[in-house]
Chain A
């Protein structure tokens, strides 16, 4: 199985901050990477597919980049609704999720 390593595991930030989350794959996955947001007690919400394509309805402050084994999710200006957990997920060979990053209020 392909392993996904996400960092950091926790990120403390303030409203308006630019935040970046990194995801590394144990082998090349091209751009077959998605990002999800999850709030407590809720199912994950799909944000980005193909590493950098925004799902319809997702605010433009979210962006993704990368290919091969290194990927990033950036929130350009953190909003109150963005405090949540974020997961990367590869879908090049079956699926694997990263361990998650909790974005908390500083």
Chain B
């Protein structure tokens, strides 16, 4: 069964950076893109960016350009999302998801709560 397992909750101070991991299992890691989506409490879904784990190519939403970096380590089938210059508005649950053959997501991670507070 395909699984995406994310790292645990984080508490960060304003101005800091956070790096969330997403470990894939039970499928060929480099065959499917990974995308990152976040959701603040009580708010909607917000797309942040994607990565092709095979090529390392990435694409980011304009809102996050310059603040978000998506990387991967193919040897351990893991994708990382790093968000810098954190502010209180970045408090949210961050999800990774696999982009399936239909070009939409088919499997999601469990989500990682990132809290930004002084």
By a beta-carbon cutoff of 8 Å, the part of chain A in contact with chain B is 1, 32, 34, 36, 38, 43-44, 46, 49-50, 53, 55, 87, 89, 91, 94-100
Contacts and interface: CB of A to CB of B under 8 A. Distances in A.
Nearest to A87: B45
Interface of B: 35, 37, 44-47, 50, 59, 61-63, 95, 97, 102-106, 108-111
Contacts of A55: 102
A96 B108 contact: no
B44 A94 contact: no
A95 B35 contact: yes
Nearest to A85: B44
B47 A46 contact: no
B47 A43 contact: no
